[in-house]
Amino acid sequence: MRGARLALAGAFLLSSGALAAAEERAFTILAVNDVYRIDGVADGRQGGLARLRTLSHDLERTDGDVLVLHGGDVLSPSFVGRLFGGAQMIDVLNHLDGDGPSFDRRLFVTFSNHEFDAARREQAALLAARVGESRFTWLSANVRFDRDDAGKPLVGGPALKKQAIVEIGGIRVGLFGLTTGIKKPAYVAMIADPVETARHHCDALRRAGAEVVVALTHLSVNQDKGILRRLGAAGPDLIIGGHEHTRLAAQVRGRWVINADSDAVTATVARVRLDAGGPPAVTFATSHWARTRRRGIRRWRHGSRIGFPAMRRASAASGNWRRIA
């Protein structure tokens, strides 16, 4: 009888553990911000988007689908960006998933102040063209673009959204973008207050079924922290930011704002875990890489190989723009 009770208790514990494991869901975020040089810095020995593709590929092999976020400063103000109007960066980002022709539903980017460097009203066509060429999503919740005589936004299209919900790791993740108001071009009607915009979109996304809400921002870190401080549980569960150019992490009221270094010299790798009945738990690390040589193969500092076709396509796109320049 005692043996039967022990067997029953053991079966209960095993089933409880299996149930807990089944109820625990998680997804991975890979994030960069303020990337001006597609081939990195220090003569290509650090950073760059081909290395970012490698890290994404490695994470996909271990974690499944990866949510890739870019916190702004995409098109400008690099020399190559001025020369080609940001087309070189769109080309490389379109190849970041290793499948250039398809739309990447796991890559999201937000506008920065430098996306508005071409600020005259007639230059809206330049930004509109870059957005139209994008095979990924631009998120912009607080930028209101002016309209033409027909009532159509001067910058718009299917690749530009205020917010989005994507399912990844079995979790419905809500996202929205925020941009600093330090530069307002002539084709922007207004840049709304980030706090009240965040309040509205967090509520809207949760009502639409989002289980985790992530704000993708290009704001000062004090503005990011202010959103978390003022909104608390009504605000985003996590802020992935840009604008500061140096990696940082700050926790306010139990929620994190995280930035990486510029030019993808570092990238943020965050793991968001959702337990049954509990708030999202965020753990993160900073990946810092450099190019070294070993048997003729370029490697990450942590040792993962980058000689696969998808990286070569991203690197080739980068190289094509360097050769043109």
On the question of pLDDT at 42 being above 50, the answer is yes
Q: What is the mean pLDDT of the chain?
A: 85
Q: What percent of the chain has pLDDT over 70?
A: 82
User: Could you tell me the pLDDT band of residue 310, with boundaries at 50, 70 and 90?
Assistant: very low
Q: Which two tokens stand for residue 265?
A: 């010299």
pLDDT per position as a tens digit, 74-96: 998 888 888 899 999 999 999 99
Domain count, the chain: 1
Residue 240, in any domain of the structure: yes
Q: Is the pLDDT of residue 210 over 70?
A: yes
The residue that leads in pLDDT, 1 or 267, is 267
Range of the domain at 315: 24-324
- Per the domain annotation, does 1 fall within a domain? no
Q: What is the mean pLDDT of residues 141-148?
A: 98
**Domain containing 275 — which CATH number?**
3.60.21.10
Residue pLDDT, tens place only, 103-124: 999 999 999 999 999 999 999 9
The separation between the first and the last C-alpha atoms of the chain, rounded to the nearest angstrom, is 82
Model pLDDT for residues 157-185, shown as the tens digit of each residue: 999 999 999 999 999 999 999 999 999 99
Q: Quick one: pLDDT at residue 183? A: 95
pLDDT above 70 (res 227): yes
Residue-level pLDDT at 261: 95
> What confidence score (pLDDT) does residue 176 get?
98
What predicted TM-score, i.e. pTM, was given to this entire model?
0.85
Is there a domain that residue 4 lies in? no
Asked if residue 3 belongs to a domain, the reply is: no
Region 182-209: mean pLDDT is 98
Residues 201-230 have a mean pLDDT of: 98
Specify if 255 maps to a domain: yes
Helix axes 87-94, 124-133, angle to 10 degrees: 10
